[in-house]
Amino acid sequence: MANIYKRKIIPYSRHFIDKNDINSVVNVLKSDFLTTGPTVKIFEKKISKFCGSKFSICVSNASAGLHLACLALGLTKKDIVWTSGITFVSSINSALHCNSKIDLVDIDKDDFNISIKNLKEKLKIAKSLKKLPKVLIVVHLGGVSCKMKEIYKLSKQYKFKIVEDASHAFGSKYDGKHVGNCKYSEMAIFSFHPVKTFTTGEGGVVTTNKSDIAKKIYSLREHGLIRDKNKFSDKNQGAWYYEQQNLGFNYRMSDIHAALGVSQLKKLKKFVKRRNEIAKIYKKELNNYPIKFQNLNNNLSSYHLLIVKFPKVYHHKMFDLFRNKNIKVNIHYIPLYMHPFFKFNKKKYSNNLKNSQEYYDTAISLPNYFHITNKEIYYVINIIKKFFNKKNKMISIK
C-alpha cells in the first residue's frame, strides 16, 4: 500500500510524534480514566513546574481558555477589551463571548507585538474619553514575548488587567524566565494545537498565580459546578452532593489528550532548540537579501512562527511562488479589522493601524518545525535567493 502519509508538501509548521507519544496515549486507553483524571493532574503539575506558575488548569483548547479567562475577570457588556491588531480571531472572540466592546492597538514594526508607543497614546486618549479598557489581551506573536514590564507599568497607571494570549509562546522566555510565570499578568493561555510548539491534538492551558482566579476557572471548566463542601449553600447533604453556582461549560481536557501532552513536553526544549537553529540558518543565508526578520528583543523565542517581511511589491508574488512550489507558507494573520463580523471601519483602521497594515502587506511565515530537513530548508531558501537574484540581474541590465 502506498504510504498515504508521505508528505509531498512542506508546511509552515507540523507536529512531531514518536513512539513514546504513542505509548503514552495507549497506556491511558488501557486505564480506568479516559476523560479528565489523574493524567490531566500530572500534566498540569508539569506545566506549572515548567512555567513557574502556581496553578495550571488544562482546558479543551486555548480558545476555551481565553473565554474562561475573560469570564474569570468578570467581563460584561459594560467593559472594553483591547488586543493587538495582528492576532488570531480567538484572542478577541473571547471578549465578544462576554458581550464586551472591543478595540485594537497597533503593533510594533520590528517585533510585531503590541506597540508600547501606540498603547501609551491610545490609553491617554481613552482616559480623557472615559473609555479605558478593563482588560488588555497581549499576544506573543510567533513566540516573541511582548514587552511585559512596560505594559505592566501602564496597567498600574491606567488600572487595566493583563491577559497573555501565549498560544505561540510555550518554551519562550522573557527576561530570562519562561513565559507563563504570570509575573506581569493575571493569566497566560497556551495552545496545544498541532501546529504550535508541542501538541495534545487539541488542548490548551491557563496558568495563573492567583488562587481565586484558578478556582473560578476550575469551576467554569466544569459547568460552573462546585465540589468544595465549605462553599455549598446547602450544607446538609450527603457525600454525593455538588452544586452549580455559576453558568459554565464543558471545557475539560481528556486524559487521552493529556497523555500526549506529558510525553510531548519532555521533548519541548529539543523542539525549541531545533526551531532556533533553523531560524539561524534562514538569517545567515538571507542576510544580504531584502528580507526583514522579527526582532526578538534579546529574548528566547519558541519560534512557533518564523515570520519574515518581504518588500511590499513582491509580497503577493512570493506567496504564490511558494504555494506553487508546494511550500505551504501562510500569513499570520489577517488584521482583525479586515473581518466583517467585528464591524471595524476597515478604511479608518487600516489608516490608523499603519504598522498592522504594513505587516499584512509584507509578512509571510516560512516553514520551521522540529523535523524539517536541512535539505528542505535550503530548498525554501534557494527559491527566495533565485527570485531576488533574477530581480537584481534585471535591474543591473536596465
Ligand X SMILES: *Cc1c(COP(=O)(O)O)cnc(C)c1O
In the complex, which residues of this chain contact ligand X (CB under 6 A)?
A: 61-63, 87-88, 90-91, 139, 165, 167-168, 191, 193, 204
* 249 CB-side CA count, 13 A: 17
Tell me how far, at minimum, the Cβ of 55 lies from ligand X, in Å.
Answer: 19
Q: Which lies closer to ligand X via its Cβ, residue 253 or residue 279?
A: 253
Q: Which lies closer to ligand X via its Cβ, residue 160 or residue 192?
A: 192
Contact 267, 16 (CB under 8 A): yes
Q: What is the CA radius of gyration of the chain?
A: 22
Q: Which lies closer to ligand X via its Cβ, residue 322 or residue 333?
A: 333
Q: Which lies closer to ligand X via its Cβ, residue 155 or residue 199?
A: 199
How many angstroms separate the CA atoms of 306 and 155, rounded? 30
* 95 CB-side CA count, 13 A: 24
Tell me how far, at minimum, the Cβ of 189 lies from ligand X, in Å.
Answer: 7
Q: Which lies closer to ligand X via its Cβ, residue 63 or residue 181?
A: 63
Number of C-beta neighbours around residue 387 at 10 A: 17
Q: Which lies closer to ligand X via its Cβ, residue 168 or residue 173?
A: 168
Closest-CA residue to 136 (of 77, 99, 198, 91): 91
Tell me how far, at minimum, the Cβ of 139 lies from ligand X, in Å.
Answer: 5
Residue 271 cell numbers, joined = 523542539
With b for 16 or more beta-carbon neighbours within 10 A and e for fewer, the 356-377 pattern comes to bbbbbebbbbbbbbbebeeebb
Q: Which lies closer to ligand X via its Cβ, residue 302 or residue 362?
A: 302
Instruction: For the chain, report the end-to-end CA distance as a whole number of angstroms.
Output: 54
Tell me how far, at minimum, the Cβ of 391 lies from ligand X, in Å.
Answer: 33
Tell me how far, at minimum, the Cβ of 165 lies from ligand X, in Å.
Answer: 5
Q: Which lies closer to ligand X via its Cβ, residue 62 or residue 300?
A: 62
How many angstroms separate the CA atoms of 155 and 27, rounded? 46
How many angstroms separate the CA atoms of 255 and 108, rounded? 40
Contact 178, 153 (CB under 8 A): no
Tell me how far, at minimum, the Cβ of 107 lies from ligand X, in Å.
Answer: 13
Contact 59, 204 (CB under 8 A): yes
Tell me how far, at minimum, the Cβ of 13 lies from ligand X, in Å.
Answer: 11
The β-bridge relationship of strands 204-208 and 187-191 is antiparallel
Tell me how far, at minimum, the Cβ of 85 lies from ligand X, in Å.
Answer: 13
